[in-house]
Amino acid sequence: MKYLSEYRNLEATKQYLDLIEKTATQTWNIMEICGGQTHGLVKNGIINLLPENVRMIHGPGCPVCVTPLNLIDKAIELLEKGVIVCSFGDMVRVPGSKKSLLEAKANGGDLRILYSPLEAVNIAKQNPDKEVVFFAVGFETTAPANALSVLHAKKENVTNYSILVSHVLVPPAMEGILDDELCTIDAFLGAGHVCAIMGMKEYYPLVEKYKIPIVITGFEPLDLVQGIYMALLQLEKGEYKLENQYSRVVKEEGNVEAKKMMEAVFEIADREWRGIGSIPDSGYRLKKEFLDFDAETKFKISSITTPENSACIAGQILKGIKKPHQCEQFGKACTPSNPLGAPMVSSEGACAAYYHFSNDLITS
């Protein structure tokens, strides 16, 4: 784990924190896009180590948090129809309109928690008399593996496998946030792992259009403080450009093979974001030639709609307009054991990260 401990070095982190303190001459609002970055900031106590005038705003990059309620209800309906539903772990506790996948499992549903959609294809092969659906949630990071599972199933003629697609894309969400008139964001830390797949190309137009610095950043403490420092340097100089702090992982062109797979299977479509609403061209759907693997088409469940809980301000949290502890429900009606909305469920969700790791240590 040496490759990790080097990025958790106390002295090096302190040096960057000192530089940040010296560099910031006014208040700046910096949004980290990815939930993994939020998790890293809060878990390592970095937020409390930053000077008061450097404010981190937690972005919408938690896949669990932005998956709309009605998709969860659809997954539950599949489970109740006797379908084997496979999911990434942190999706299963997110409340749907009536219950979570975990509760549906307790009622007899066959729910499997997996790390890889390819494992779901294996389950489909082992259970030829059952239908198997993988809940394909996530950003550009999980899309290649989900695409691969479909290609694999098609090649091996596994006809009882399909995916419930809830794929969203980062750049349209950033535009959505910047277009909001309440937006106060001065710079972005770009999502390192998303860029590892997609490369940097998509971000140059954003920098130009909104004249905003974007620093593609990693997830370890040293990555985060360095990314914040790089963003600050640009802000203080009045510059705006795309920079890559996470160059050990992110290449200009991204992962070409992964992108090919995604392009083969998915096409761009409008997508609903939990708490934010519909954003044009902000996600993926399966291409026509792969509709046999589309669970919504296969099981005719596409008409379920579900309203959100009105007490939950997830939308404002995800856009960075409010911080989790500024919500009236935070830690009261809404806790990780009884979440009103998704950001309180996933460990990457801004609300859960605040609740678990900082609680009342956070005063600002």
Q: Can you say whether residue 239 is alpha, beta or left, with left for phi > 0 and alpha for psi between -120 and 50 degrees?
A: beta
Q: Where are the beta strands (DSSP E) in the chain?
A: 28-34, 54-61, 84-87, 111-113, 132-138, 161-168, 187-191, 214-217, 242-244, 266-273, 277-286
**Spatial CB neighbours of 11, under 8 Å, sequence gap ≥ 6:** none
Q: Which is nearer to another protein, 186 or 223 (CB)?
A: 223
Q: Which is nearer to another protein, 84 or 214 (CB)?
A: 84
Q: Which of residues 319-358 bind another protein (CB under 8 A)?
A: 336-337, 346-348, 355-358
Binding mask 153-192 for another protein (x = CB under 8 A): ----------------------------------------
Per CB under 8 A, contacts with another protein among 206-245 are 221-222
Amino acid at the residue 234: Q
Q: How far is the CB of 349 from another protein (least distance, A)?
A: 10
Contact between 361 and another protein (CB under 8 A)? Answer: yes
If binding is defined by CB under 8 A, does position 359 make contact with another protein? Answer: yes
Q: How far is CA 276 from the centre of its chain?
A: 13
Asked whether 59 and 316 are in contact (CB, 8 A), the reply is no
Q: Which is nearer to another protein, 186 or 220 (CB)?
A: 220
CA distance 349 to 313: 13
Nearer to another protein, 26 or 337 (CB): 337
β-bridge partners, 215 = 189, 243
42 binds another protein (CB under 8 A): yes
**Residues that bind another protein in the complex, under the rule CB under 8 A:** 1, 4, 8-10, 13-14, 36, 42-49, 63-64, 88-93, 102, 112-115, 119, 123, 137-139, 141-142, 193, 221-222, 336-337, 346-348, 355-361
